[in-house]
Chain A
Amino acid sequence: MGLSEALYNFAVYQFFWIALALFAFGVVYRIGRMFALWKRPVKAPRRARGGGYLVKTFIETFLDPIIFSLKKKPHDFTFGLLLLHLFGVLPIIFLMGEHVIVWSYYFPPYWLVAKWGLWIPESMISGTLTVTTPVPPVGEMSYKFVSNIWGPLNIILNGDVLAILALIGVGGKIGMKLLEAAKREKNVRLGDIIDYTLLLGILLAGYLAARFRGDVIIYRELLALHVLFAELLLAWLPFSKYWHFVFGYWYGKIHEWWDTRYQRGA
């Protein structure tokens, strides 16, 4: 077995489970610590506010920081939220054809995304995943065709464009962090460098693998690197700022709503 194959097999079949175990340990550790510090407080009776008010403020709790960021920090809004999150990483991870197949392999109900035509192709000019993607042949074809509901939106909603947007987003965020570091801002942490570098590695390796049209060995190495980096991120996730995606964001916003809007009635 050559290096390329060994690397690929390690990434796809072995390290995934190690990464998953580390991830699970991290989740238990972090949630466990929260439980350890939890004490039921004696609360004052909540302020009476109507159901409509609570629904409205629930939505506002999530929307307000976005609107605030758009008004007050448009550069951060553009690079951070738009490019990196909304039009970059999130649709690529969860909607791009190749990734839908991976998610469905581990979690079969996820195939609904494909069934409902929500998935997106790798490229704007072709519905194919990629000729070298090792997916089972469908009919006469050696590749799978992404048939979706997006119509002309496929010009934007495809792996190529979204990956470039995500790369610009990560690049912009790294640039901003460097500027903040130059200004000796305290909110620049070592974790930022590790996190963004890892993300950049995943995006670059994935993009290069997807665009690669040469020797299958090199393709496999690129793909193995992409998978390995992603697994590293999975293992690292509970110990890094990426935890916000799994827990921190959801807990934080729901707690804020409960504390300020539901309880106090603001």
Chain B
Amino acid sequence: MASRPSPVVEEILKTVKQRVKWSGYDKQAVEKAVSKFVAAIDVVRLHYLENCVGCAACAPACPYYYVDEHYSPVNKAEYSRGVYRKKLTFAGRILGPLVGAWIPKNEKDLDRVVELVYRCTNCGHCYYACPFGIDSGSLVQGLLKIIATYSGRAPTIIDVFAELEYREAYLEIEGLMMPWNMVLKKAEEAIGKSLPLDKKGAEVLLLPWLTDAMFYPGGVIGAIKAFEAAGLDYTLPSRPWAVRPPIGVVVGRMELAKATLERIVRRAEELGVKRVVLLDGGFPYPWMRWEMPKLLGRRPNFQVVHFVEIALELVKQGRLPIEPDDTPVTWHDPCQLGRRGGVTEEPYELLRRVARNFRPLKHRGVHSICCGGGGGIGCMNPEMIAEMAKLMGLEPDALYDGEKEKKFIEETTKAWSIAVKRKIDEIRESGAKIVVTACPVCIHSISGGAKLYNLPVDVKHIAEYIGERVKLKR
């Protein structure tokens, strides 16, 4: 039984319930959404919209193509092209559906849009598979999602977390803060001294998010142990600066995303650190490293790197004493760290140095198979929603906009259970007993998939793996 929700949770839920509508068709909202869609088209997206020849070469790259062929990237992106044609081409305005011009006209259309949006993980594999360099993920996640969200079709759970992060309201929710407080306490026990919290002028800022503490506390502790062992001049925040920023992008709410990133950059600059180290190799990495300067219109005064990059540097410099491991271990490339983030070489170099029985997967780097959990799909399952509701003192039903959304979440979970299978099969083929990776969604998705398809494997964050093997001087 959930405890009573705090007033801040009730307030956020009220805000979200006002804008999330899984039933009906609000013409004004759709028009507003279409205007936002049009405003989000830039020169690169114009290429993505206009230069597809419809060859569908991208189809087999998508994990959801194996759930249903209609979920191929080109099919999903075609809905964005339809809106584009209707609003911005002569042929589309005059000839309409004859040339594939389209705009959601009723409830059924909106239901279809949201279905397609949450059958895309934005993994970017279609981008590399396309003979014309078209990033269909950008058209689905970056454009079509705007139509879904601003027409009311946004998953309540993600929208609640976007709002929680924007307002930093999670700091007031005991259930959510518990893992954070716990991880700091355990880290202090592990290193046998106080943590260097909020230290100004440190070289490196280890910047864990709230989700890092929730999903892999061992990863946070592992990173701290590694930095201590290497004698790094580092600091970390005494409280989480965000849930998993910018979580607003997962529901296409760019205004929330921008405000959150601005806040994070300001704080890191106030600390005067030279480098910010992330543990999360999911979407926060490309957003913090690559997209943030574009969004904010300026470069921050620090460099953003992932833990795996700095760990490799330290190992190469001989500053990180590690006890090599004999367990068969493999690496799963999180799509956002690898394909989207460009960290495709470093994890392999690091693991070759620290794991004697490293077994790279058949598809790796930019060709890696997606785990099927990205784009918000990972947290769209009833168990996760029930768990999060409990932490916030809510009944699970409070995080659904009625039966329709509930059914959609259940269908999404079913679709994920098919999409994840290829990844599990590939891990099974490698013979690995440990899968190391760097993204909470990948960890959750692969662990869930392994359980579903009876694969006895331990899935952990790379920082946890390194932390377990690091020789710490006391």
Contact = CB atoms under 8 A, between A and B. Distances in A.
A64 B365 CA distance: 13
B431 interface: no
Contacts of A243: 50-51
A37 B133 contact: no
Given A69-B131, A249-B131, A249-B132, A264 B341 contact: yes
A266 B54 contact: no
A109 interface: no
A249 B131 CA distance: 7
Contacts of A213: none
A1 interface: no
Which of A43, A45, A249, A264 is packed against the most chain B CB atoms within 10 Å?
Answer: A264
Interface residues of B, number: 58
Contacts of B296: 42
B293 A187 contact: no
Contacts, number: 155
A78 B54 CA distance: 16
Interface stretch (B41-49, B156-164, B416-424): B41-49
A211 interface: no
Contact of A66 (B51, B75, B131, B293): B131
A146 to B, nearest CB: 32
Which of B43, B59, B100, B299 is packed against the most chain A CB atoms within 10 Å?
Answer: B43
A190 B59 CA distance: 20
Given A260-B128, A264-B341, A44 B293 contact: yes
B55 A76 contact: yes
A65 B75 contact: no
Interface stretch (A13-21, A130-138, A251-259): A251-259
**What's the interface size class on A, roughly?**
35 or more
Interface stretch (A3-11, A178-186, A199-207, A219-227): A178-186
Given A42-B298, A183-B69, A265-B342, A256 B41 contact: no
A191 B69 contact: no
B70 A185 contact: yes
A244 B130 CA distance: 12
A181 to B, nearest CB: 11
Nearest to A43: B293
Interface string A220-236: 00000000000000000
A180 to B, nearest CB: 7
Which of B41, B54, B56, B366 is packed against the most chain A CB atoms within 10 Å?
Answer: B54
Given A186-B78, A266-B365, A39 B42 contact: yes
A264 B47 CA distance: 20
A115 interface: no
Contact of B299 (A42, A248, A257): A42
Interface string B31-53: 00000000001111011001111
Given A72-B60, A241-B54, A255 B133 contact: yes
Interface of B: 41-44, 46-47, 50-57, 59-61, 69-70, 72, 74-75, 78-79, 98-100, 127-135, 286, 289-290, 292-294, 296-299, 303-304, 338-344, 365-367
Given A249-B51, A260-B128, 14 more contacts: A42-B298, A80-B55, A184-B70, A185-B56, A186-B74, A186-B75, A187-B56, A241-B54, A249-B132, A252-B47, A252-B134, A255-B133, A256-B133, A260-B342
18 contacts: A34-B43, A42-B294, A45-B299, A65-B129, A68-B129, A69-B57, A80-B55, A186-B79, A190-B100, A241-B53, A243-B50, A249-B131, A251-B133, A255-B44, A257-B133, A260-B127, A263-B342, A264-B286
For the complex of A and B, the 4 pairs showing the least CB-CB separation, nearest first, are A264-B342, A252-B133, A256-B133, A248-B51
